[in-house]
Amino acid sequence: MTFAANASRSDTLDMFQSGGFSKPAVAIGLFVAAAIAYFIQVIRQWHRLSHVPGPFWAGFSKWWMVKESLKGRQPTAIKEVTDAYGSLARIGPNELVTDDPELLRRMMAVRSEYTRGPWYNAMRFEPGRDNLFCMRDEVAHTKLRNKMAAGYSGKENESMEGTIDKQIANLVKLIETKYISGPVSYHPMDFAQKAQYFTLDVISDLAFGQAFGYLQHDDDVFDYIKITGAYIPIMLTVANVPSLADLLHSRFLRGMLPKESDKLGFGAFIGVAKKVVAERFGPSAKSKPDMLGSFIRHGLNQEEASGEALLQVIAGSDTSASTIRAVILNLLTHPSQYLALRSEIDASIGSGKISSPIKDSEARTLPYLQAIIKEGLRILPPASGAFFKTVPPGGDVIDGKFIPAGTQIGSSPLGIHHSQKIFGADATCFRPERWLEADEEARAEMERTVDLVFHYGKYQCLGKSVAMMEFNKIFVELLRRFDLSIVNAEKPAKIENAGIWIIEGFWVRVTHRESYP
């Protein structure tokens, strides 16, 4: 047997040496085998959802999604897909999108078995630490959400309205001090920048009891806007490939991510949030009537409070600022609607219907203002990512098609909010009058649909009440005092999308109104 074994090894060696089984041939064979296995897996994955229409090559890789995200036009591209292929369409190997509001409500309902998908892994702001927005554990999410609801609603933060009034006053003061133009003076103002200064100061004041001071300093404190303007698009592009997000947050690469020791940018904010929260958990800490105080009273620990404070700043500033910019941009490019809103404001002041500053409750009674706000939210839905949810065990039947468990279904924000079926043939136009002309049934359907910008059910944005209070106040307080006009008529602003609308270079000329009530 020993002789036979030696002979066998000798024969094999001879075959390698003679070229029968050369090392390159073995390597090529292994490569070919791996390629065939991969090809079979790709075909199986493609076949799994082949009954759902969509761009052909999108069914084989995520490159289509990444490419459109890198171009800054993913929401537009997804709308083009649903327009071309139907309400349920395929945009990735395991990814579908829908522009059906009713399906989204069913997916996000309180008792829905759908859960957040791996897309949310990229929404972690710190390695290995979930926040309310990215948390995929449904039980933990519900528990944390319940602890935070009172703080966001204002029930335990009675100064919410006064805080917003204070920051509007700071914005007005900044404009009057530095940005009023006249017959012989010209001081253009980047409204896009100032809108975010305002929302950052509002949310930091509400969250921590003290504003970060953007309006006071008229400066990008910590270079937050500059750095997050680069970071958030990357984060939302990476979300299309969740395995990359997991890799970035691994212990091998997490050093590349922002950290609390950074002096500027996102990392600096992490450090500020942790410092403020640590002070509130210290031995001499006292309970305060702000959001953070509410969170602590309802049981958030120090680590949870730090993460949620950071989320408040990010989620509560960029999205609100984009809507404020969108409304003002559309008003300035639609003079008749600008004048209609200003006339409603002036008439309401003249009749004593609104105070100075306007109260939230008063703003809700102004029909054209409310139409303007809804139209602004609709025309550029502020959070315009896909927000993929996972089909539950057992699968689902949608539009007569069986969708297997584990499939990711996202939303088409522009497809939903620019739906001609819901909003009319001119759905892509900014026309607030549609809200006043519609009958009761049509208006109710429009309102239910626009409300989806704040999501729905178990995922509805807790900051909705804060955002709506900002919108109810800021447009009235600006237009009652100032006349605004576009500086660059040929290109009023630079607009791109990276899951949120990035609006920059929105230069306006501001003058005092010659007379106002």
Q: Binding site for heme: what residues are annotated? A: 461
Q: Interior CA angle at 462 toward 424 and 371, to 5°? A: 30
Q: What are the beta bridge partners of residue 411?
A: 98
Whole-number Å distance between alpha carbons of 434 and 414: 18
Let me know: does 236 contact 319? Beta carbons within 8 Å: no
Give me 121's structure tokens.
């892994």
DSSP state string for 73-113 = -HHHHHHHHHHHH-SEEE-SSSEEEE--HHHHHHHHSTT--
Give me 375's structure tokens.
């139209």
Give me 136's structure tokens.
């995929």
Let me know: does 508 contact 487? Beta carbons within 8 Å: yes
Q: How many residues make up the chain in this entry?
A: 517
Coil, strand or helix at 477: helix
Coil, strand or helix at 403: strand
Burial grade of 44 (CB within 10 A; 0-12, 13-18, 19 or more): exposed
Binding residues are: 461
C-alpha atoms less than 13 angstroms from C-alpha of 487 in its C-beta half-sphere: 17
Give me 497's structure tokens.
């999308």
Selection from 109, 97, 103 nearest residue 413 by Cα:
97
